[in-house]
């Protein structure tokens, strides 16, 4: 069985491609990243179209912040251009799996040309369900929510409809699809994997009870509920450590949480090792949280 994978960014697709290659099933990885960013895969298994995604990522690294509507316009343009490129360059495969939003044309080409099974990889909840949830959460916090570009939503809904299968990472995500009238049998739960050589239990050397949250600090991840709930417990010798990749909302959202919350720099995977990188707040990497 030969599997082709398409994703304009990284997400979990690089790891998925490496595992497919180890099992002898990888036909091709199509990515919007430069080839040198993909480790441990033969070059002939990697097809790249880096011109748009690399520019988008570079703007973020340079701290260029655009209004939400312009960011969505860029995202839509990148996805549709990448999809058209994949459609033209797609090689023979038995299975074609792509990240939702970027495979509307290419997955149909895989089916029509090669009779491939097509799998839409939606690494989250149903896009309409997600938008409704986010709109309610932002409203609850007294913040303005910008709806997802209608063209992006339309593309994803068309992919859900026309794909053979949809894979999601959790039972919650699957439930969101079923509630939006997608047949239960079409949605499969495939949890994200973890590198057990890198992440493994270690010996505990103190009596402090810690909860670690690793992810983007923002309303979308629900970290505000985690922090408030833990703060209400008033546990002795307790500490919460969010390792953050950035923030989507103002710091005031997380005000008055107490000195038990300590912010860490985010972890970045580089050249086979984990590195601590400073993130958007200029203060020291590990400090009690203080609202600005």
Beta carbons within 10 angstroms of residue 143's beta carbon: 14
Of the listed ranges 131-135, 161-165, 188-192, 206-210, the one predicted with least confidence: 206-210
pLDDT recorded at residue 231: 73
Q: What is the pTM of this model?
A: 0.82
**How does pLDDT run across 157-170, given as a tens digit for each residue?**
999 999 999 999 99
Q: Please report how the helices 127-140 and 150-162 are oriented relative to each other, as an axis angle in degrees rounded to 10.
A: 140
264: buried, middle or exposed (CB in 10 Å: 19+, 13-18, 0-12)?
Answer: middle
Q: How many residues does the chain have?
A: 292
31: buried, middle or exposed (CB in 10 Å: 19+, 13-18, 0-12)?
Answer: buried
Beta carbons within 10 angstroms of residue 126's beta carbon: 27
**How does pLDDT run across 251-287, given as a tens digit for each residue?**
555 555 555 566 555 556 554 455 544 433 333 333 3
Distance CA 221, CA 236 (A): 26
Strand segments (E) across the chain: 3-7, 26-31, 46-48, 95-99, 117-121, 165-168, 187-189, 209-217, 238-247, 262-263, 266-270, 273-277, 287-288
- 124: pLDDT strictly greater than 70: yes
Q: Can you name the residues that pair with 263 across neighbouring β-strands?
A: 287
- 133: pLDDT strictly greater than 70: yes
Written as one string, the DSSP assignment of 127-161 is: HHHHHHHHHHHHHHTT----PPPHHHHHHHHHHHH
């Amino acid at each position: 069985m030969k599997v082709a994978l398409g994703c304009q960014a990284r997400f979990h697709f690089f790891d998925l491609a490496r595992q497919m290659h180890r099992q002898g099933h990888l036909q091709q990885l199509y990515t919007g990243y430069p080839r040198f960013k993909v480790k441990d895969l033969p070059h002939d298994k990697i097809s790249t179209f880096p011109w748009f995604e690399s520019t988008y990522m570079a703007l973020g690294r340079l701290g260029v912040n655009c209004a939400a509507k312009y960011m969505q316009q860029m995202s839509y343009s990148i996805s549709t251009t990448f999809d058209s490129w994949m459609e033209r360059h797609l090689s023979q495969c038995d299975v074609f799996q792509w990240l939702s939003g970027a495979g509307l044309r290419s997955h149909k080409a895989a089916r029509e040309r090669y009779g491939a099974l097509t799998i839409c990889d939606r690494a989250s909840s149903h896009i309409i369900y997600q938008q409704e949830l986010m709109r309610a959460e932002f409203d609850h916090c007294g913040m303005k929510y910008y709806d997802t570009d209608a063209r992006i939503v339309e593309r994803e809904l068309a992919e859900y409809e026309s794909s053979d299968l949809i894979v999601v990472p959790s039972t919650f995500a699957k439930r969101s699809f079923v509630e939006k009238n997608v047949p239960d049998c079409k949605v499969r739960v495939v949890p994200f994997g973890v590198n057990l050589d890198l992440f493994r239990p270690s010996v505990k050397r103190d009596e402090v009870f810690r909860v670690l949250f690793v992810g983007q600090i923002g309303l979308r991840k629900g970290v505000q509920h985690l922090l408030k709930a833990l703060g209400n417990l008033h546990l002795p010798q307790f500490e919460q450590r969010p390792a953050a990749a950035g923030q989507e909302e103002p710091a005031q959202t997380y005000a008055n949480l107490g000195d038990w919350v300590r912010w860490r720099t985010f972890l970045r995977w580089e050249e086979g090792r984990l590195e601590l990188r400073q993130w958007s707040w200029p203060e020291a990497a590990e400090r009690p949280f203080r609202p600005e």
